[in-house]
Structure 1
């Protein structure tokens, strides 16, 4: 059986780990959005070049 102190330490460890996952996910989403925006820019440039 865990003591309350052990439980609190374990809970804190889990919260820290989940926080890292959230941070990593947010960073990946920012990178994804930047790539999507760049693809859209390139598609627009491509359409403009084809139209010339």
Structure 2
């Protein structure tokens, strides 16, 4: 699993995100905007918290 985050496999939130979203290009403007807003507003919170709140 080189190139795959060690925390993702088996993790209830990160596994789905990494398998279906992380590293895949977005062409839909709404999904791209969502990613941008999530990244901007993370502000020190864990990425797990951000993924759970969306």
Larger RCO, structures 1/2 (Cα 8 Å, 6+ apart): 2
Q: TM-score, normalised by structure 1?
A: 0.31
Larger Rg: 1
Q: TM-score, normalised by structure 2?
A: 0.30
